[in-house]
Amino acid sequence: MSDQPSKRKAKKQKIFKPKARTPRGFRDMAGAELRLQNHMLDTISKVYESFGFEALDTSAFEYADALGKFLPDDDRPNEGVFALEDDDGQWMSLRYDLTAPLARHVAEHYDRLPKPLRRYQFGTVWRNEKPGPGRYRQFMQIDADTVGAGNQAADAEICMMAADCMEALGIQRGDYVVRINNRKIMDGLLEAVGLDLAADDYESRRLTILRAMDKYDRLGLDGVKALLGEGRKDESGDFTKGAGLDEVQIDKVAQMVTISADNRTDVLKRMAALVQGTQSGKQGLDELVEMAAIFTKLGYQTDRLKIDPSIVRGLGYYTGPVYEIELTFEAEDDSGELARFGSVGGGGRYDDLVKRFKGIEIPATGISIGVSRLAAALTLLGKGDAGAADPLVVVTVMDKDTRTDLMALVGDLRAEGIRAELYMGDSAMKAQLRYADARGARLVVIEGEDERAKGEVTLKDLRLGAEKSAEIDDNAEWRASEHAQKQVAKADLVAEIKKIIS
């Protein structure tokens, strides 16, 4: 008797049921969205391969000490990544981008790799940052890099290849542009405005100035000037400390970022005037002049590739030319607002790629394209169905004893290049038709006892049925219309399906 209360208590205890939810900053992908992503990866990969780049896949985790300067910010070395401690006490981090894994791969296998190494890679990257609308902690990138080439032809090739990728995806000229600058020119500008290279705070002020310039497109000139001076308070009230430049210095930097990018020769002349007398500025200008000559020689005009002094790139490891792919078109979003996508990819030269591993400088240049952001842009352009799957045929099951024979029928359809599946559930016919509709199937094949005896099947066209139902108001007319279905001899089924879906 004493056990009864404890048994009743045990029965009343709730069984824990975890809440089904996606972690904050992450999401699932399926169907058309995933097909579009795969289509984009395939299209861009083919462009990369046409330039002679070879595919590479690296591990999702890297040892944290290998990331070094490839971490999000020099002043936040332990933030921005998802990390865990291995059983041997070493810290590992999910890759923040695809550049750090490339650095490690090159250093680890340097002696056996062809040089220059031309590799492309697509894969998921993870960033432990605050998520927001359209800003996820996990997303897909597709990169291309040339490692071991220090000349500007390698940089120019990356920029031209980026433009070709946009057009391969169906983005017309005028709807995109690749903007190009050089970090050495920016360093020359800082020297020209009087920053002390030997000062302890030089590097932090340098990054603050470069990041302010990089925000010109988003914040406008007033916002950039505020960040170059004492600082700026945003709409939420948060204050960002500025670089502390005086009015004369701010004016010279402002002159640089506001240079029009419509003519490459004129842009280079105006940039040269602002960095006159600086060694790094002259070197950067010489590199851009060489790249511009290559663009002109190969027919890449300013409608595709522009020299733009406002392009800086936020990461600190760039050492020379930097470039950004910008989408210039405007389109209405779901709420009817005009949206301009801006940057969908970027990169530059980073000649310290392998130096921290091997102690020697190995020149490198590359680009990274953000697949998710670019997919959203393609959808707004009306090109989001580029990766649509082939029409689906669903074969239903009226008699479970015939399932094996129907599986053979489905196999015959697939052998003829038709995308087909057999309904694998155990529901009645109405539920099977609802399933086919939910799957977006174009055709349904039905074989009842009478059809089987005649060597026939019923072929139901769901799309035509939906169109007819919208046109028919009278029930009698609807019943007489046979719901867009027909009897087809089994021997003619493949030919009839191909006729309909063609």
CATH number at residue 118: 3.30.930.10
Does residue 163 sit in the same domain as residue 55? yes
- Span 370-417, pLDDT tens digits: 998 899 888 887 777 655 678 999 999 999 999 999 999 999 999 999
Does residue 354 sit in the same domain as residue 446? no
Does residue 191 sit in the same domain as residue 71? yes
Domain boundary among 334, 359, 380: 380
**6 occurs within a structural domain:** no
Contacts of 482 (CB under 8 A, 6+ apart): none
What is residue 396's predicted lDDT score, i.e. its pLDDT? 96
- Span 420-467, pLDDT tens digits: 999 999 999 999 999 999 999 999 999 999 999 999 999 999 988 665
The tokens describing 120, both together, are: 């492309």
Count how many domains the chain has.
2
Does residue 189 sit in the same domain as residue 85? yes
Contacts of 421 (CB under 8 A, 6+ apart): 392, 393, 394, 395, 410
Does residue 456 sit in the same domain as residue 370? no
Looking at the predicted structure, is the pLDDT value of residue 6 above 90?
no
Single-letter amino acid code for the residue at 214: D
- Span 7-39, pLDDT tens digits: 555 556 788 888 999 999 999 988 888 889 999
Does residue 165 sit in the same domain as residue 71? yes
**95-112 average pLDDT score:** 92
Nearest residue to 494 (alpha-carbon basis) of 437, 418, 438: 418
**287 occurs within a structural domain:** yes
Does residue 300 sit in the same domain as residue 411? no
Does residue 35 sit in the same domain as residue 170? yes
CA distance to 150, 175, 292, 326, 404, per residue, from 305 (Å): 21, 12, 9, 10, 59
Q: How far apart are CA 48 and CA 54, in angstroms?
A: 8
**451 occurs within a structural domain:** yes
Q: How far apart are CA 187 and CA 337, in angstroms?
A: 39
- Span 148-170, pLDDT tens digits: 999 999 999 999 999 999 999 99
The CATH number given to whatever domain includes residue 496 is: 3.40.50.800
What is residue 113's predicted lDDT score, i.e. its pLDDT? 93
Nearest residue to 424 (alpha-carbon basis) of 391, 459, 397: 397
Where is average pLDDT lowest: 32-46, 62-76, 324-338, 388-402? 62-76
- Alpha-carbon 32 to chain mean position: 16
What is residue 475's predicted lDDT score, i.e. its pLDDT? 47
Where is average pLDDT lowest: 255-269, 303-317, 325-339? 325-339
Confidence of residue 483 (pLDDT cuts 50, 70, 90): low
The tokens describing 371, both together, are: 């697949």
**327-331 average pLDDT score:** 83
Does residue 353 sit in the same domain as residue 491? no
What is residue 111's predicted lDDT score, i.e. its pLDDT? 92
- Under a CB-based contact definition with an 8 Å cutoff, are residues 62 and 92 in contact? yes
**91 occurs within a structural domain:** yes
**424 occurs within a structural domain:** yes
- Span 269-319, pLDDT tens digits: 999 999 999 999 999 999 999 999 999 999 999 999 999 998 888 666 789
State residue 103 phi and psi, 5-degree precision: -60, -45
Q: How far apart are CA 8 and CA 275, in angstroms?
A: 84
- Under a CB-based contact definition with an 8 Å cutoff, are residues 170 and 383 in contact? yes
What is the SS3 assignment for 14?
Answer: coil
What's this model's pTM, rounded to 2 decimal places? 0.82
**222 occurs within a structural domain:** no
CA distance to 135, 216, 372, per residue, from 21 (Å): 18, 38, 21
**299 occurs within a structural domain:** yes
What is residue 485's predicted lDDT score, i.e. its pLDDT? 87
**353 occurs within a structural domain:** yes
Does residue 165 sit in the same domain as residue 107? yes
What is residue 479's predicted lDDT score, i.e. its pLDDT? 45
Does residue 487 sit in the same domain as residue 398? yes
Range of the domain at 346: 31-199+260-268+275-380
Domain boundary among 380, 411, 430: 380
Contacts of 247 (CB under 8 A, 6+ apart): none
Work out the percent of the chain whose per-residue pLDDT is above 70: 88
Domain boundary among 380, 408, 443: 380
**225-242 average pLDDT score:** 88
**Mean confidence (pLDDT) of the chain:** 87
Confidence of residue 84 (pLDDT cuts 50, 70, 90): confident
Does residue 410 sit in the same domain as residue 338? no
